[in-house]
Structure formats: C-alpha cells, structure tokens
Structure 1
C-alpha cells in the first residue's frame, strides 16, 4: 500500500492506494480540514493507509511512502521529538498491531505518484461538510476517442450493437471494458418494440432509428 500527504496554499489532503496481490487498486483520500505541517500530513496519510487496510481485513501489509521521517520514527531508528507527532506515532503503533505481518519501506516520490495525486486532489477540492465524494474510476484510453465512432458506410447498421444488447443482453464479441460501459449507458436511452428500435428524446418522444439505406 502506498500513501502520501499534501500541504499547499489551498489546503491539505491525504491519499493512499491499496494494491491487492492480483493487481487491483483500491484508492482512498481525505481532505484535512485543519491547519497542519507536512509531517503531520504524512502521519495522517499513513494512518489513513492502515485504517483502510484494516477495513479491507488485510492481515499482511507492505507500506510504501516517501516520508523518511514517518518511516524511521515508526521503525524506531529516529526519536519522535516533536510533541505534535508523538500522539500520531503512538496511534500508528497501535494500528500496526492489527496485522500479522507489516513492513514499512521508503520509496522515492517518483514511484509514489498515484498516492501523491490523490493527496493533491483532496487538498485542492472544495468539499462541503457531510458530503462524501466517491473515488473516480480511471480507465486507460488506448486510442483516440474518435476511433470509437461508427461510420455510416459500415456494412451493419450503426445501431446494431445497441439493438442486440437490448434483445439479448450480450456484448459484441471483441468489446473491451470501456466499450461495454459505453454501450450500457447508450442502451438506457433506447427502446425496442418488436424489431424496431426507438431512441427516447429529451421530451420522451420516441424517434425511430434508421440505417443509411432507409434514410435515402
């Protein structure tokens, strides 16, 4: 698991990302709504990291971060002299007892970009008290968006995938995750009556879908 804290002129925030053994990423972030130093932010981030892992019922955890102070104090190599950090250090030690195995490893900031981005986003976001902002789902675009457009000159009707999805609930054979999500969203605005496909307009009017040949 990676963590990071961010303090800037706009505000403060913390972020962490838990990576499972099969490569799945589970990001968490929080806006720190009180004045704090960089070191306090790093401790807040590390605590967020461990709390998230506990919520996920993780028993063995590898913790990575770019705060040398947090790690060396946690490992007992440096003494915690700052009175503001003593309670954090003690609480961190208590949280660590929830794991059967836990390790802390320093990593350069260049290898901690995901957690850093989460912390920076949380610090700059304006969030009203009581509101919870769900974590964004990040997809990888392997090509320009316009490559997904359907050309009228194609052999099959432009609406074939939508119609087939409404009829069978199945996706095209080679549809990737991104296209499947797009298809599900599109299908919500269409209605199938027998073999005829209609599109629901903004005023609920049903517009019949026609292909290139029918439009001539």
Structure 2
C-alpha cells in the first residue's frame, strides 16, 4: 500500500481541497492503469456533486466538477463513496502531516500544490509547417540539396552562415557567441 499526502499551498475552501485531493488520486490511479476504483471522501458535497445528486452552483465548484468528470470519463468502473469524518482517521493524520511546514514526510509520498488545478493554462497545439530553417537543417545534417542547381547554390551559400548543434540551428559568428536562428 502506498501512502500519499497532498498539501494545498494556496487559499482553498475545504471543498476545494477535497476536489484537489480527488483529482490527485484520479491522476495517480490513471498512471497506475486502474480499471476498477472505489474512491472515498469525507466531503458529502463533493461526493454528491460527483455522483450527480447535488448540483455545483459556484463557478469554482463547477470547474472542479468538470475536471473530475473528464478524468472519470476515461476510466472503467468508478464508485465515489462518502465515509463519515470520524471513520477517516488515517486520511486525517496524512492531512495533518501534509499541512505542517516541514518537508520531511518520511516514507509517505507528498506533493505540494502551489496553484489550483482548475487554473491551468490552456495550451493550443500549433501545427508544424515547413519553414525556411528546414532546408538548411536538412543540408547541414544530411547534406541534401535541392535538385535545382540555382536553388542548391543559394542554399549552400545561406547554410554557410549557420551551424547545427544537435538538433538546434545557430547563426554562425566569429566575434560573438552563437545566437538562435
């Protein structure tokens, strides 16, 4: 059995902290490849919102709930159950340990969250298109020139101003350090 403590190092309500703990657990079991899961929480609000009995009314709760549902969508059979607060002594002791200022958690894996999970930046994938660097890299790496003789001559002359280190192209300079192309 692995023990895991999560420290929320930003202002969060109890329910937001419970959602953060739930998201951390779901990420962990997803990495482990779990197909059948029982999740216990002592927060009635979080359990009932995830199970669809309660509606999330506040914007932050809606965002947390949506993020949990996205994680649950790719998983197999998942049951989210409420455990009464008094019956959750071990989880409470892990919570108290994580809230201390020390960073020594012994054999317990601990994670410190500096920002809410729902505040992640959106990343937009930009398709990679051919650009002016590609022929130069191809020539410097594999000595491949275009078929057209005048285009090959121009590329040969242009490539003389660049150097390839690993997969990174730098502009050649004799008096200054290399600069990114």
TM-score range, shorter chain: 0.5 to 0.7
Q: Is there any run of 5+ residues in structure 1 with no aligned partner, and where?
A: 1-24, 138-216
Matched, 1:115 2:91: yes
Matched, 1:62 2:62: no
Counterpart in the other structure of 1:51: 27
Counterpart in the other structure of 2:16: 40
Counterpart in the other structure of 1:180: none
Counterpart in the other structure of 1:83: 59
- For residues 107 and 73 of structure 2, the distance between their equivalents in structure 1, rounded to whole angstroms, comes to 28
**What SS is found at the alignment partner of 2:78?**
strand
User: What's the CA shift for 1:79?
Assistant: 0.8
**What SS is found at the alignment partner of 2:60?**
coil
CA contact (8 A) 1:66 1:106 kept: yes
CA contact (8 A) 1:28 1:135 kept: no
- For residues 44 and 67 of structure 2, the distance between their equivalents in structure 1, rounded to whole angstroms, comes to 18
- For residues 28 and 97 of structure 2, the distance between their equivalents in structure 1, rounded to whole angstroms, comes to 18
**What SS is found at the alignment partner of 1:31?**
strand
User: What's the CA shift for 1:133?
Assistant: 4.9
* 4+ runs deviating over 2 angstroms: 132-137
Q: How many residues align?
A: 109
CA contact (8 A) 1:30 1:119 kept: yes
- For residues 54 and 107 of structure 1, the distance between their equivalents in structure 2, rounded to whole angstroms, comes to 22
User: What's the CA shift for 1:122?
Assistant: 0.5
Aligned equivalent of 2:107, options 121, 135, 153 = 135
Q: Where do 1:1-216 residues align within 5 Å?
A: 25-127=1-103, 133=105, 135-136=107-108
Counterpart in the other structure of 2:167: none
Measured against aligned partners, the alpha-carbon deviations of 1:128-169 in whole angstroms (never above 9, x if no partner) come to: xxxx855349xxxxxxxxxxxxxxxxxxxxxxxxxxxxxxxx
- For residues 21 and 108 of structure 2, the distance between their equivalents in structure 1, rounded to whole angstroms, comes to 19
User: What's the CA shift for 1:29?
Assistant: 1.3
User: What's the CA shift for 1:30?
Assistant: 1.9
Give the TM-score normalised by structure 2. Answer: 0.55
Higher helix share: 2
User: What's the CA shift for 1:126?
Assistant: 3.0
